[in-house]
């Protein structure tokens, strides 16, 4: 019997390649999310530091110009935090979409792999059946030869 060959091997290889590339893209997005989380945390810490410094100087007394400068700095830093949080939300949505895409790609590859396993199992059973038939034919042929030589 001829060697097992799955006709959809190229499709399976392609689906695995797609899955691998999506996985790489997801890894890059996840790293970008982590970097953005760090940027947001840095912006929040900067805001907290400016605010702490502002409250300390305000308690000690300060000029109106300094007061206004601190308030402006706080507004700018708050806007920075909002912008960084917005970027983070966009990246998280992209990451989740890529995760769903990866699940779909895994399901696609898995369905072809299961079909391959079924075809291989059927091939194996057919191979075993043909080998049993060959052995039966061989045994019958030998026993027929032995019987004709005996009389």
Q: pTM for the full model?
A: 0.72
Please indicate whether residue 142 or residue 99 has the higher confidence score (pLDDT). 99
Is 135 buried (19+), middle (13-18) or exposed (0-12) by CB count in 10 A?
exposed
pLDDT of residue 34: 98
Average pLDDT value for residue range 53-64: 89
Whether the per-residue pLDDT at 123 is higher than 60: the answer is yes
CA angle (97, 100, 105) in 5-degree steps = 125
Give residue 1's pLDDT band: very low, low, confident or very high (50, 70, 90). Answer: low
**DSSP for 123-135?**
HHHHHHHHHHHHH
Please indicate whether residue 149 or residue 86 has the higher confidence score (pLDDT). 86
**DSSP for 101-144?**
HHHHHHHHHHHHHHHHHHHHHHHHHHHHHHHHHHHHHHHHHHHH
Q: What own/partner pairs with CB < 8 Å and gap ≥ 24 does 40-43 have?
A: 40/81, 40/84, 40/85, 40/88, 43/77, 43/80, 43/81, 43/84
pLDDT digits (tens, 9 = 90+) for 10-44: 898 999 999 999 999 999 999 999 999 999 999 99
Whether the per-residue pLDDT at 102 is higher than 70: the answer is yes
Yes or no: say if 12 and 131 are a contact pair by the CB < 8 Å rule: no
Please indicate whether residue 143 or residue 44 has the higher confidence score (pLDDT). 44
């Amino acid at each position: 019997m001829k060697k097992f060959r799955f006709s959809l091997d190229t499709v399976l290889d392609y689906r695995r390649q797609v899955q691998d590339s999506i996985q790489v893209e997801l890894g890059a997005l996840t790293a970008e999310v982590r970097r953005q989380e760090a940027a947001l945390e840095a912006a929040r810490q900067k805001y907290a530091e400016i605010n702490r410094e502002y409250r300390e100087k305000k308690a000690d007394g300060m000029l109106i110009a300094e007061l206004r400068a601190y308030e402006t700095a706080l507004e700018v830093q708050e806007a920075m935090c909002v912008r960084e949080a917005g970027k983070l939300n966009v990246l998280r949505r992209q990451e989740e979409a890529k995760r769903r895409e990866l699940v779909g790609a895994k399901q696609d590859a898995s369905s072809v792999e299961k079909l391959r396993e079924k075809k291989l199992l059927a091939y194996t059973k057919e191979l075993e059946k043909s080998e049993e038939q060959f052995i039966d034919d061989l045994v019958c042929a030998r026993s027929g030869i032995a019987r004709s030589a005996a009389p």
